Chains A and B, each alone.
Chain A
Amino acid sequence: MVKEEKEIANRPDNTAFTQQRLPAWQPMLSAGIVIPGFVLIGLAFIGIGVALFVTSRSITVLEIDYTGIEKDSPCYKCSDSDAKNCVCNLVFSIDSLFEGPVFFYYGLSNYFQNYRKYAASRDDEQLSGDLDAFTAPSDSCSPYNYNSNDKPIVPCGAIANSMFNDTFVLYRVVNGAKQLVPLDGKGIAWWTDYNVKFRNPSVTPLKNAFNNTVKPIFWPKPAYQLDTSDPANNGFINQDFLVWMRRAALPDFRKLYRRITDGDYAKGLPAGNYSLTIAYNYPVVSFDGRKKVVFSNVSWMGGKNEFLGIAYLVVGSLCVLMSMVMLIVYAKFKFPEED
């Protein structure tokens, strides 16, 4: 009939999808079904938790605050903002072998490297060696893009300007004599930062690239003099610079300073007395910050952190407990046909 033909013309597709007749799996969340899953997850979590906890326990950490606010601190005299080129000596002892490789960090507290405006105050084009950005730094660096004489600042921005500039020398004190502990400054930054993101301009000597630019206001020397001894560690690809330029996520952070891997200390720091000579340059008292040095060895899970291991143990035990609760629930409330 005429009418039927018309209907067919407008009829929607009769497919399982359009008619919503697709075969479906209907999971039923009920006590009986999830008990085995909970037991398995619980046991697995407890296993992981134990492994994490044990690993974390095996990691040794030595933290020494040297801000110098306390009067008995050896760096007390340096915490005064008027003190120039102040050097202080931090003496500490290690009771047993500090297993290597030992990582040597400096730590800052109440320091917001993640503050929005601060974190944006850099010019990645400039840092990748783009000479155009040398003459005209990005506005994001403002107010650290030009100095008062309208000369471009390289490297521009607040992050570079505020680069951490305390330096440390570690001595082992053996029978009253100071023995230098060699510190390894290579490979402490991200491989991608060193090889991809940060590039020096391909100008030799490097100094020429910085013509007509000025160093950051707080820097004692320009970027091309960060490490004059090693061209592979100079300019923008200076490891300390790279480490600093990778902004910390949280206001209390540490950054890798050196690794102790060489010579007698490859196996770690032997028990004994140590002296750390600190060139105290970086002011933190004004913003209630703290400075510290951290010695730590690492494992497959990174630095020491007991939280994750405990979390796994707690959640794992909770799952096992839940499965028991559900066993009771299942016995009491099971749906009749659920055999």
Chain B
Amino acid sequence: ETEVIPDRKLLQHISRVDSSGSRKTDPYLEFFLGLAICNTVVVSMATAERQRASGFSRSGQTNNRLDTLSNVAKKPFSLRHIFTSWKNKPKRSRTISEDSVVEEDHFNAPLKIDGSGNTDGLQTCSLQAPSHSNDPATTPDNVTYEAESPDEAALVYAAKAYGFTLLARTPHSVTVRLPSGEDLVFEVLDTLTFDFNRKRMSVLVRHPITKECVLYTKGADYAIMELLGTSCAEHLRGKQKNIATDTQHHLDFYGKEGLRTLCFTKKVVSKKVYESWLVCRRNALAAIDNREELVMETAVQLETELNLLGATGIEDRLQESVPDTVVALREAGIRVWVLTGDKPETAVNIGYACRLLEEEDLVINMSCKNKLECTSILDCTLEEVKRYSEDPRNVDTSQDIALVIDGRTLTMALSSDLQDRFMDLAKHCRTVLCCRVTPLQKSRVVKVVREKLKVMTLAVGDGANDVNMIQAADIGVGISGQEGMQAVMASDFAISRFKHLKKLLLVHGHWCYTRLANMIIYFFYKNVAYVNLLFWYQFFCGFSSATMIDYWLMIFFNLFFTSVPPIMFGIMDQDISAEMLLGVPELYRIGQGAGEYTFTTFWVSILDAFYQSLVGFFIPYLAYQDSDIDIFTFGTPINTISLFTILLHLSIEIKAWTVVHWVTMLGSVALYFIVTLAYSAMCVTCNPPSNPYWILHSQMADPMFYLLCIITTVVALLPRYMFHVLRNSIAPSPLMQARRLDRLDASTRDEWMKEWRSIRGLGQVRRSRLSPPPSPTLDTPADIFPQSPTASDIMADDLTLNVITENYQRPVHM
């Protein structure tokens, strides 16, 4: 199911080396061996793969997840490019084109392979050595890999494309088929699993031919580079340092292209060292306290003096419509933060690709080594940013400041004495990119943002490393994809594509907010309005808590007669159509600031409820004053009036009447009359001391009952109705205007929409800066990235999705 197109030149080189028999020492072969061995990918048959997919039961080893590359949301059918850098031959590292190998593999996408790729793939297959395997089931064509992250699988597939096929992996051995067709069985001595502190993993194997203990390590470039050996460079012709520099150069280039980089190293461990290490390791594994720390320490002990084999760059394409979505979120007034494990170069590049950063943006890069430096940089930057935003020349431009900060600096910035300043700075930035952050840092960032900025946070992620963050945020959204289901399991909402976030927030978020806000206000109103009727009656019954409404009818009132319409209102109401909400993301801002559920709307509603209850009690009171009315005959019209008032009040609030609304509304009224009539016809002495018998029947035979109901309902609802009418006419809210546009036909609507957006200055995310960029003094404390990325036409890269979305929604003070 996977097609990989290897670079032919490199392939030929490998087959040449392979056949020449010098493979024991050849770094090319070692590199690919490392690629095939240094992972936790499990081999499965193609059929098994299918079962897994259909059953969707992932293996339970989620704890030691080897997720070197975090924060990716990949579409299941993503085209994955692997750029493999080849460093060990200095002469080959002159130009990029020469030593880069481009491979493509299509994950699970047999139907989606484009034509050229397909034929190339076939040619590739023919280049491969014929199988010498005795077991027909394990032919290289037949194997598929189950990896904990798609990146890992990609590397194994890449190795396979060059003839280094991972055939089997058991806890104690790894079988690799070489291009020559020979199977090598490596004994696995130990696996040093990945963790976010080391940012690397290693596999310790015994070479089947040389019987040496070999440690293959792969990891983030910065985690590897500082561990490279300097002394034992003899079999690398004394050029280790040189190579490391060249590799770093290429890695930087990859990073700027938005590739995820990894370094591969090898280390031959002498028997003596291994044995002494093994003792430590066993002690660590057997430890009861601090086991994890000790195990990690042993790993660190062994991973020193590494020899660089090569580096890889993995391209992870953005999902479709990511830039659109990001722009829409920004227009909706949502601040987007990216928390990624990638390095800053990669993250910035992706930021540009998904329009999180605009070309004219001012990008502040914060990276510092110690706290003192960090403090001074923070202070200076804050000063500059404030000066910039207060500058009158910048008043009419949107704040286009982006902050890029790396994991180490972030740790310092989030320390208790600096976090206020950091948050102050972040508040001025439209976008914040946090790079090289660990899962714990992610959740820490979310928590600090929540705490300090008093905003609602939404975290989107797809990987297990996002789980902490998703759980820390107010709203967690998981993207289901190749990274597994952990994020989805931990999330409040699961989506399958990043682009669905737009609809989730702008449409469903908006609807959900208005529905909830209106329904909650309505419930408060309803109870105040109804219960107050009973309260007013207390003034006329000696405060004896007597009621003028039959007890059962009172219970039924909230339980049956007026319960379904508000529920349907809360489920079904759509104040504005989805098209309109998607078309004008600015409408989302209404829920963030002065929304529908505010101090004012709440108290206005409560006051209205008081007014309505006053009207609903005292009009009948004045009408029946000094008459021979009895308790429950007096209560019946009051109950009927409040039924109509409460239901019609709701119908003023309902924005879209579907057949469901009509059925529930009319059904509620019908239910009230049917139940009350039936109850008062049957209950003679069933519910003392109330005696509803035949009361509604006699009332309904009296014209006064209807006249009373009509006038009271009208008087009760007139203020609210008038308020709506006048506000909609005199000062319509943006929502109201949007609703009006909704009624127009599509073409006129689009025209109006455009015009309206420009008039209201809601505006696109600004494309042009009106004032010159800020003073150049900024670059003393902090680097400013060049105006545009070096490669702005990148077709595909890594979608980084740990977006903290804070919509600056004021907490409601109730």
Chain A interfacial positions (CB closer than 8 Å to B) = 1-3, 5-6, 17, 20, 22-32, 34, 41, 45, 48, 52, 105, 107, 112-117, 119-125, 128, 138, 140, 190, 192, 196-197, 246-256, 300-303, 305, 307-308, 311-312, 315, 318-319, 322, 326, 329-330, 333-335, 337-338
- List, in ascending order, chain A residues with CB within 8 A of B76's CB: 3
CA distance A120 to B548 in the complex (A): 12
Cβ–Cβ contact B627 & A253, under 8 A: yes
CA distance A111 to B729 in the complex (A): 51
Interface string of B714-757 (1 = CB under 8 A from A): 11001001101110111010000101101110001000100000
Cβ–Cβ contact B56 & A6, under 8 A: yes
* Whole-angstrom distance between the Cβ of A136 and the nearest chain B Cβ: 15
CA distance A52 to B628 in the complex (A): 19
* Whole-angstrom distance between the Cβ of A172 and the nearest chain B Cβ: 25
- List, in ascending order, chain B residues with CB within 8 A of A120's CB: 688-689
Interface string of B180-191 (1 = CB under 8 A from A): 000000000000
Cβ–Cβ contact A2 & B627, under 8 A: no
Q: Which residue of B lies closest to A123 (CB)?
A: B688
- List, in ascending order, chain B residues with CB within 8 A of A123's CB: 688
- List, in ascending order, chain B residues with CB within 8 A of A122's CB: 688-689
CA distance A112 to B545 in the complex (A): 13
Knowing A125-B685, A248-B629, A326-B729, say if A52 contacts B707 (CB, 8 Å): yes
Cβ–Cβ contact B629 & A307, under 8 A: no
Q: Which residue of A lies closest to B627 (CB)?
A: A303
18 contacts between A and B (CB under 8 A): A24-B657, A29-B728, A113-B631, A114-B542, A114-B546, A122-B688, A250-B624, A252-B625, A256-B628, A305-B627, A308-B708, A311-B715, A326-B726, A329-B726, A334-B729, A335-B737, A337-B748, A337-B752
Does residue B655 face the partner (Cβ distance < 8 Å to A)?
yes
Contact of A329 among B631, B652, B729 (CB under 8 A): B729
* Whole-angstrom distance between the Cβ of B596 and the nearest chain A Cβ: 16
Cβ–Cβ contact A305 & B623, under 8 A: yes
Knowing A48-B707, A315-B714, say if A249 contacts B548 (CB, 8 Å): yes
Knowing A28-B743, A196-B684, say if A115 contacts B656 (CB, 8 Å): no
Knowing A125-B685, A140-B689, A196-B693, say if A302 contacts B627 (CB, 8 Å): yes
- List, in ascending order, chain A residues with CB within 8 A of B623's CB: 305, 307-308
- List, in ascending order, chain A residues with CB within 8 A of B634's CB: 249-250
Contact of A114 among B541, B628, B748 (CB under 8 A): B541
CA distance A300 to B702 in the complex (A): 8
CA distance A192 to B631 in the complex (A): 16
Cβ–Cβ contact A27 & B657, under 8 A: yes
Cβ–Cβ contact A26 & B732, under 8 A: no
Cβ–Cβ contact A197 & B685, under 8 A: yes
* Whole-angstrom distance between the Cβ of B695 and the nearest chain A Cβ: 9
- List, in ascending order, chain B residues with CB within 8 A of A22's CB: 572, 658-660
Cβ–Cβ contact B691 & A197, under 8 A: yes
* Whole-angstrom distance between the Cβ of B734 and the nearest chain A Cβ: 13
Knowing A31-B725, A246-B630, A333-B730, say if A23 contacts B658 (CB, 8 Å): yes
- List, in ascending order, chain A residues with CB within 8 A of B704's CB: 301-302, 308
Cβ–Cβ contact A115 & B703, under 8 A: no
Cβ–Cβ contact A41 & B742, under 8 A: no
Number of A-B residue pairs having CB atoms within 8 Å of each other in the complex: 204
Cβ–Cβ contact A305 & B625, under 8 A: yes
Cβ–Cβ contact B684 & A329, under 8 A: no
* Whole-angstrom distance between the Cβ of B55 and the nearest chain A Cβ: 9
Cβ–Cβ contact A26 & B657, under 8 A: yes
Cβ–Cβ contact B540 & A250, under 8 A: yes
Does residue B304 face the partner (Cβ distance < 8 Å to A)?
no
Does residue B562 face the partner (Cβ distance < 8 Å to A)?
no
- List, in ascending order, chain B residues with CB within 8 A of A140's CB: 688-689
CA distance A24 to B654 in the complex (A): 11
CA distance A52 to B710 in the complex (A): 14
* Whole-angstrom distance between the Cβ of B515 and the nearest chain A Cβ: 11
* Whole-angstrom distance between the Cβ of B659 and the nearest chain A Cβ: 6
Knowing A112-B541, A246-B630, A249-B624, say if A335 contacts B732 (CB, 8 Å): yes
- List, in ascending order, chain B residues with CB within 8 A of A25's CB: 656-658
CA distance A253 to B232 in the complex (A): 111
Does residue B679 face the partner (Cβ distance < 8 Å to A)?
no
Cβ–Cβ contact B542 & A115, under 8 A: yes
A sample of 19 more A-B contacts (CB under 8 A), given A22-B572, A197-B693, is: A29-B721, A29-B728, A114-B540, A114-B542, A115-B541, A119-B631, A124-B685, A140-B689, A248-B629, A249-B632, A250-B624, A250-B625, A253-B629, A256-B628, A300-B703, A305-B624, A307-B622, A333-B729, A333-B730
- List, in ascending order, chain B residues with CB within 8 A of A30's CB: 725, 728-729
- List, in ascending order, chain B residues with CB within 8 A of A307's CB: 622-623, 625
- List, in ascending order, chain A residues with CB within 8 A of B684's CB: 124, 128, 196-197
Q: Which residue of B lies closest to A127 (CB)?
A: B685
Q: Which residue of B lies closest to A128 (CB)?
A: B685
**What 4 pairs between A and B have smallest CB-CB spacing?**
A249-B634, A24-B656, A116-B544, A22-B658
- List, in ascending order, chain B residues with CB within 8 A of A23's CB: 658-659
- List, in ascending order, chain A residues with CB within 8 A of B728's CB: 28-31
CA distance A117 to B689 in the complex (A): 10
Q: Which residue of A lies closest to B721 (CB)?
A: A29
Cβ–Cβ contact A253 & B572, under 8 A: no
* Whole-angstrom distance between the Cβ of B559 and the nearest chain A Cβ: 23
- List, in ascending order, chain A residues with CB within 8 A of B274's CB: none
Counting chain B CB atoms within 10 Å of each CB, the highest count among A17, A29, A251, A338 belongs to A29
Interface string of B626-666 (1 = CB under 8 A from A): 11111111110000000000000000100111111000000
- List, in ascending order, chain B residues with CB within 8 A of A113's CB: 631
- List, in ascending order, chain A residues with CB within 8 A of B540's CB: 114, 249-251
Does residue B574 face the partner (Cβ distance < 8 Å to A)?
yes
CA distance A303 to B629 in the complex (A): 11
Q: Which residue of B lies closest to A322 (CB)?
A: B722
Cβ–Cβ contact A253 & B711, under 8 A: no
Cβ–Cβ contact B739 & A250, under 8 A: no
Counting chain B CB atoms within 10 Å of each CB, the highest count among A122, A247, A338 belongs to A247
Does residue B37 face the partner (Cβ distance < 8 Å to A)?
no
CA distance A251 to B634 in the complex (A): 13
Does residue B493 face the partner (Cβ distance < 8 Å to A)?
no
Q: Which residue of B lies closest to A133 (CB)?
A: B685
CA distance A311 to B622 in the complex (A): 10
Contact of B652 among A29, A247, A308 (CB under 8 A): A29
CA distance A315 to B542 in the complex (A): 32
Does residue B53 face the partner (Cβ distance < 8 Å to A)?
yes
Q: Which residue of A lies closest to B727 (CB)?
A: A29
Q: Which residue of B lies closest to A105 (CB)?
A: B628
Q: Which residue of B lies closest to A112 (CB)?
A: B542
